[in-house]
Amino acid sequence: MKFVDEANLRVQAGNGGRGCAGFRREKFIPFGGPDGGDGGNGGSVWLRAQEGINTLADFRIERLYKARSGEAGSGNDRTGRSGDDLFIPVPVGTVVRDAETGEQLGDLKVAGQELKVAQGGKGGWGNTRFKTSVNRAPRQFGPGLPGEQRQLSMELKVIADVGLLGLPNAGKSTLISAVSAARPKVADYPFTTLYPNLGVVNCGQHRSFVMADIPGLIEGAAEGAGLGHRFLKHLQRTGVLLHLIDIAPIDPQADPVRDALAIVDELERYDPALAAKPRWLVINKRDLMPDDEAEKRAREIVKGLKFKGTVHLVSAATQRGTRELAEAVMRFLEQRREAAAAEVVEAKARAALPRPAALPRPAAKGAARKGTPGAAAAAPVSRGTPRPNVQSRRKARPQAVIKAESKARLKAKAKSRAKAKVKAKVKAKARAKADAKGRSRARSRRGRA
């Protein structure tokens, strides 16, 4: 299948279902009231990183992805069925952007990672929701909100620990075939490799890393020479770059030093962060000449480049020095991983440290001014020192005192209750007297009439 690492697609989430405006109609139940159910929610659109997919080629064919809409609500308070969410599988390492705003929506780096790219519309309310004490027969209902629509642009940046970099014919594909099970095409003409290949390099139990072989890079790639520099994005996630140099190029006018500098220049022009990555020199095809001459030439290349980093002299075709190279890369990656893990642990420990004790509280204003002993007592109390709470203060007093106090409290309560009773009795008597008086007055008035 064709390797495609860029794709555009449109996603459309489902619309919310319409709410229902219905009334309960049943024999012997007049004015049954509103019974319209809500509409169902529309389905959302998600992207899910899935292993086993290596390209975005599928998105060249199908460009519109639609989630199901929610169904309308119905009478008898029945809510409409919600639309199912739509999950679109994408390769691990896909960077997703909103094509219109350019905003990065997410980076799916791990298998199983999911990203919501369009939110489904909410279902509308049925008329039951609108009933109030003053509006008992509402005819309103919610129409349901439309689902989100988005134009997405996706870019695949393969996830690899190590990237191979070099001119065409330097032997990149030969090296990846020597150290991993990947079998890309190898031939003695430039641009044999047309798309990135990944290979897993095994260095023992639970010790492995992923190597990426990309198409060769030539001078002027930034202007589109050769295959351009668009494949360099596949090196952006790597931890170390292996820069392959052919020790004996076929072209008699070729100069390994000048060509290597041109490649570094291309890296710089594409992304300075990529140029700043750890880069090792791998001088290849040592089998083409005797050992002492190969070593001499390698020294000249390193000197010409004024290179200070790690250098390996190998032969990818005969696999001489390739195992050692893979082992060195593995150790380097392990050290990086350990350093990163130690950093995480340190950050966690820093977060878990107790907060430093607050500054001592200022002394009470009046006491400080007067210079009374209260000032001295108040000053050393800091927020870090525990203050005696109510319970501990109570514990400090003898049990007998506490009992006596509670007894006195109970007595006082009973006394006040008795007083209130007496008061209420007096009030009731007075009311009864007043009533009787009123009644006799009314009787005498009637008698006079």
Ligand X SMILES: Nc1nc2c(ncn2[C@@H]2O[C@H](COP(=O)(O)OP(=O)(O)OP(=O)(O)O)[C@@H](O)[C@H]2O)c(=O)[nH]1
What are the backbone angles phi and psi of residue 438, rounded to the nearest 5°? -60, -45
Local structure of 102: helix, strand or coil: coil
User: What does the DSSP assignment read for 298-346?
Assistant: HHHHHHHHT--S-EEE-BTTTTBTHHHHHHHHHHHHHHHHHHHHHHHHH
Choose among ligand X, Mg ion, none what residue 287 binds, the Cβ cut-off being 5 to 8 Å by kind: ligand X
Q: How far is the CB of 217 from ligand X (least distance, A)?
A: 8
Q: How far is the CB of 348 from ligand X (least distance, A)?
A: 43
Q: Are 238 and 201 in contact (CB under 8 A)?
A: no
Out of 82, 173, 238, 284, point to the residue binding Mg ion (CB under 5 A).
173
Choose among ligand X, Mg ion, none what residue 316 binds, the Cβ cut-off being 5 to 8 Å by kind: ligand X
Of 182 and 375, nearer to ligand X (C-beta) is: 182
Choose among Mg ion, ligand X, none what residue 44 binds, the Cβ cut-off being 5 to 8 Å by kind: none
Of 85 and 259, nearer to Mg ion (C-beta) is: 259
Tokens 């219109």 correspond to: 100
Quote the CA–CA distance of 69 and 81 in Å, as a whole number. Answer: 9
Of 69 and 284, nearer to ligand X (C-beta) is: 284
Residue 193 lies near Mg ion (rule: CB under 5 A)? yes
Quote the CA–CA distance of 330 and 182 in Å, as a whole number. Answer: 18
Choose among Mg ion, ligand X, none what residue 74 binds, the Cβ cut-off being 5 to 8 Å by kind: none
What are the backbone angles phi and psi of residue 249, rounded to the nearest 5°? -65, 150
Cβ partners under 8 Å of residue 95, min gap 6: 104, 106, 107, 108, 154, 155, 156, 157
Q: How far is the CB of 121 from ligand X (least distance, A)?
A: 49
Of 119 and 173, nearer to ligand X (C-beta) is: 173
Give the footprint of ligand X on this chain (CB under 6 A): 166, 168-174, 186-188, 190-193, 215-216, 284-285, 287-288, 315-317
Q: How far is the CB of 196 from ligand X (least distance, A)?
A: 11
Q: How far is the CB of 169 from Mg ion (least distance, A)?
A: 8
Q: How far is the CB of 192 from Mg ion (least distance, A)?
A: 5
β-sheet bridge partners, residue 200: 210
Residue 177 lies near Mg ion (rule: CB under 5 A)? no
Residue 174 lies near Mg ion (rule: CB under 5 A)? no
Residues 313, 315, 320, 322, CA torsion sign = positive
**Residues near Mg ion (CB under 5 A):** 173, 192-193
